[in-house]
Amino acid sequence: MTFDRGRPATVRADQTTVRRANLGGVLRHIAAGGPCSRARVAAETGLTRGTVSSLVGELIDLGLLRETGEDESPGRVGRPAQTLELAGMAVAVGLEVNVDYLAVSLEDLTGQIRYERQVFVDNRKSAPGPVLDRLVRMARQALDEAERQQLLVVGVGVAVPGLVESDSGVVLRAPNLGWTRLAVASEIGRRLPGLPIRVENEANLAALAEHWQGSARGTRNFIFVFGEIGVGGGIFVDGELYRGAHGFGGEFGHITVDLAGGALCACGSRGCLETVIGQEVIARACGVEIASGGRVQSVTAELVRRATADDPLVHRTLEAVGATLGTALASAVNLFDLDAVVLGGCFGPLSPWLTEGVRLALRERVLSAEWSTCEVYASALGELAAVRGAAALILRDVLSAPWSIGERRLAVSEAAS
Ligand SMILES: [Zn+2]
């Protein structure tokens, strides 16, 4: 029997919209604030206890929340208030194509890594097809692991060092890989049918990961800068990744810093920031040999080793790098009024020698420095920030649209039958 027969369709649509919004609201409340009872969710969100109970029941059925079995206030008289927390059943696969490695990460909604693998390979010397074939083989191993652990894979995120049209998943240009106009989402989708695929710039994803689980947790306005062969950036404004009009925002490495002309950049322009403080440029200035096809990380490790041993050339070079990086960051802070900058890629391990120069430049060049302090943090997630962000991109979709899990389950069971 139905009670709403004859009601206008718009009323039903509005009820669905409201319930979905509340479902997402309750899930995000527990994700942000940690374990919590139904009564406390009701008090803190302003929803009635009855509504919260019904929403929580649905979220438990979807496998997104679970009862911890603990009483929120033990010793209190009356019925125990069961504490709720995020459940780890829903997982996302993160994939990353980097210049000299491929990575995969299987991460659940609680932020726990269920499977992780990194393979070192020089992707600059390979055509895109074989690179994507190898990446998909790594993804399949993660999917097998998800099946073994009886987890529900909600989608695949892919990190690429280049300009990505996020709606279509087309990589327009990845200068350091030599890729142009490559439909990465559909190429991977063809190899992994039935899974939602999203592609995003690696620095944007690393920023997302630092906000989700790393140094910028709880920081609403910050820039993440990523030093490798190229220099990337990801900007968070009001707690959300700032993509710009087409998803191309945050290209921090291509800010012009050498106005006298400067060296030719991989992007075709001259005097870009990455031609002055890219990792290979730093290494050369420090007298560190870069072997052909050598790993970015081994160059960073050598720079750290020499800086720790008080090599004067390395100290002088890093002091200058910190000043240049800080000057460029000050422009970003002046534009966006940021609470923090996060140093990632090679800048993370080198931060003990860069931070002072960055802080000084921010103090001198940020107009509002007298009234607001911009913090300088080192990346907490290191080299795997981007691949973790690729998984986080998909998991954040679950937090904003938890009902989509029901649809995903249905698709999985239909595919299995
Ligand atoms: Zn450039």
pLDDT digit string (tens) for 8-27? 566 666 888 899 999 999 99
Which residue ranges does the chain devote to CATH 3.30.420.40?
Answer: 90-205+386-416, 217-380
Query: In this predicted model, what pLDDT tens digit does every residue of 355-397 receive, in sequence order?
Result: 999 999 999 999 999 998 899 999 999 888 999 999 999 999 9
In the chain, residues under CATH classification 1.10.10.10 are 14-86
Q: Which of 33-37, 53-57, 228-232 has the highest mean pLDDT?
A: 53-57
Structure token digits, residue 240: 């959300």
**Residue 27 CA to ligand 1 centre (angstroms):** 41
pLDDT at 6 > cutoff 60: no
Residue 361: predicted pLDDT: 97
Amino acid (one-letter) located at 143: L
The pLDDT value recorded for residue 230 is 86
Bridge partners, 224 (sequence order): 234, 342
Q: Give the per-residue pLDDT at 185.
A: 97
**Å from CA of 221 to ligand 1 middle:** 25
Confidence category of residue 248, pLDDT binned at 50, 70, 90: confident
- What is the per-residue pLDDT for 359? 97
Phi then psi for residue 118, to 5 deg, are -135, 135
From 239, 248, 208, select the one nearest 338 (Cα to Cα). Answer: 239
C-alpha 230 – ligand 1 centre gap (Å): 9
Q: Ligand 1 centre and the CA of 283: distance in Å?
A: 19
Query: For domain 90-205+386-416, which CATH number applies: 3.90.1150.10, 3.30.70.20, 3.30.420.40, 3.30.300.130?
Result: 3.30.420.40
Q: How far apart are CA 393 and CA 95, in angstroms?
A: 11
Model pLDDT, residue 104? 98
Looking at the DSSP bridge assignments, the partners of residue 226 are 232, 344
CB 26 within 8 A of CB 41: yes
Question: What is the rounded average pLDDT for all residues in the chain?
Answer: 90
Distance CA 108, CA 129 (A): 29
SS3 content of the chain, % helix, strand, coil (to 5): 45, 25, 30
Interval between CA 328 and ligand 1 midpoint (Å) = 14
Instruction: Determine the distance separating the centroid of ligand 1 and the alpha carbon of 167, expressed in angstroms.
Output: 24
pLDDT at 32: 86
82, two tokens: 């069961």
Closest C-alpha to 325, from 279, 266, 269:
279
Q: How far apart are CA 235 and CA 205, in angstroms?
A: 10
pLDDT for res 372:
87
pLDDT at 4 over 50: no
For residue 174, the CA-to-ligand 1 centroid distance in Å is 12
Phi, psi torsion values for 182, nearest 5 degrees: -115, 125
DSSP string, 61-118: HTTSEEEEEEESSTT-SSS--EEEEE-S-EEEEEEEE-SSEEEEEEEETTS-EEEEEE
Q: Which two tokens stand for residue 249?
A: 């925002």
CATH of domain 14-86: 1.10.10.10
pLDDT(302) > 50 = yes
Q: How far is the CA of 251 from the centre of ligand 1 (A)?
A: 9
**pLDDT at residue 5 is higher than 60:** no
Q: How far apart are the CA of 87 and the centre of ligand 1, in A?
A: 43
> What does the pLDDT read at residue 294?
62
Q: Are 342 and 216 in contact (CB under 8 A)?
A: yes
Instruction: Name residue 41's amino acid.
Output: V
Residue 97 phi, psi dihedral angles, 5° rounding: -105, 115
d(CA 201, ligand 1 centre) in Å: 16
Q: Tens digits of per-residue pLDDT, 260-297?
A: 889 999 888 999 999 999 999 999 999 998 776 567 77
Q: Domain 217-380: which CATH class?
A: alpha beta
